[in-house]
Amino acid sequence: MAYESIDGLDARLDGGVLRITLDRPEKRNALDDAMVSALIEHLEQANQDETVRAIIVDGRGDDFCAGFDIVSRNAGETDRKPRVGSIQRRLPAQAHRLVPLVLSTQVPVVCAVRGWAAGLGLHLALAADFCIAASDARLWEPFATRGFTPDSGGTWLLPRLVGIARAKDLLMLGTELSGADAAAWGLIHRSVDAADVADEAERVTQRLAAGPTVALGLTKWLVHQGAGLDLERHLASEAFAMELSSRSVDFREGIAALRERRDPGFEGR
């Protein structure tokens, strides 16, 4: 499968790793409609691509992503305003499609964050399975300070990650959070020095890419869908996932490696 780059977004398949770089450094890598559409297309494709075993998303320049480029979008709407309801018609196919895809794609997703991660950019990073951020990165929910409400899953992600009180602090007071504090809160996987972000994110990505892809994808599915189920129904899901993963090539390799007292060589199948 081909992963095409567009203006503002570079995509390439490197072995078993799909590498996506947000590439609008002059705009702090703020997303536009075309970039969001490309991200959605790449994630949908990667979920069906047998060769993709991990996905890493980063940003060119000093920042990860300053959110959606709402200024550029609205610049062309001064003479002719869109019809009432345009936002609720548009979001389900754009930002509100992107975040659920990151959460549901049965391929591990890693985000490497330096500088600003705000709004949609922050939610993209938080939806990833592993977010590695610079200790001095700036994580921010700008919505209340701009007079409108959050989108792209912010009010769903944050309470589940850090609890209601801290979620309100971020969403309603607009408190900026450093990468170090985000890690201490449990909002992200890890914070490191800015110079080490790329190397640490790559280390995690390569470990995931070398893992049992079927089992990892099903584990991700269990973690996310289990939040909405009672224990009995969740245990049924675990039995279903065990049935599938135990029929994989990697399961047989894992058992063989255990028996032969060696490290497994997973193929992602």
Mean pLDDT of the region 206-235: 96
Angstrom distance (rounded) from CA 34 to CA 42:
12
What pLDDT, in 10s, does the model give residues 99-121?
999 999 999 999 999 999 999 99
Position 247, amino acid: R
68-80 pLDDT tens trace: 987 666 665 556 6
What average pLDDT does the chain have?
Answer: 93
Model confidence at 52: pLDDT above 70 = yes
Percent of residues, the chain, with pLDDT higher than 70: 94
Q: Where are the beta strands (DSSP E) in 43-121?
A: 54-59, 109-113, 116-118
pLDDT at 247: 96
Q: What's the angle, vertex CA 263, arms to CA 257 and CA 268, rounded to 5?
A: 80
Is residue 130 packed enough to be buried (19+ CB in 10 Å), middle (13-18) or exposed (0-12)? buried
pLDDT above 90 covers a percentage of the chain that reads: 87
Q: What confidence tier does 38 reach under pLDDT thresholds 50, 70, 90?
A: very high
Q: Where are the domains of the chain?
A: 9-209, 213-260
What confidence score (pLDDT) does residue 245 get? Answer: 97
**Segment 27-38 mean pLDDT:** 96
Are the C-beta atoms of 37 and 186 separated by less than 8 Å? no
Question: If we measure between CA atoms, which residue out of 265, 257, 132, 126 comes closest to residue 209?
Answer: 265
Cα–Cα distance between 266 and 108 in angstroms, integer? 15
- Please report the pLDDT score of residue 237 as a whole number: 96
pLDDT, position 74: 61
Average pLDDT over residues 81-86: 73
What pTM was estimated for this model as a whole? Answer: 0.92
Q: Which CATH architecture has domain 9-209?
A: Alpha-Beta Complex (3.90)
Predicted confidence at residue 84, as pLDDT, reads 74
Contacts of 108 (CB under 8 A, 6+ apart): 53, 54, 55, 129, 130, 205, 208, 209, 211, 216, 217, 220
What is the rounded average pLDDT of the residues 24-47?
96
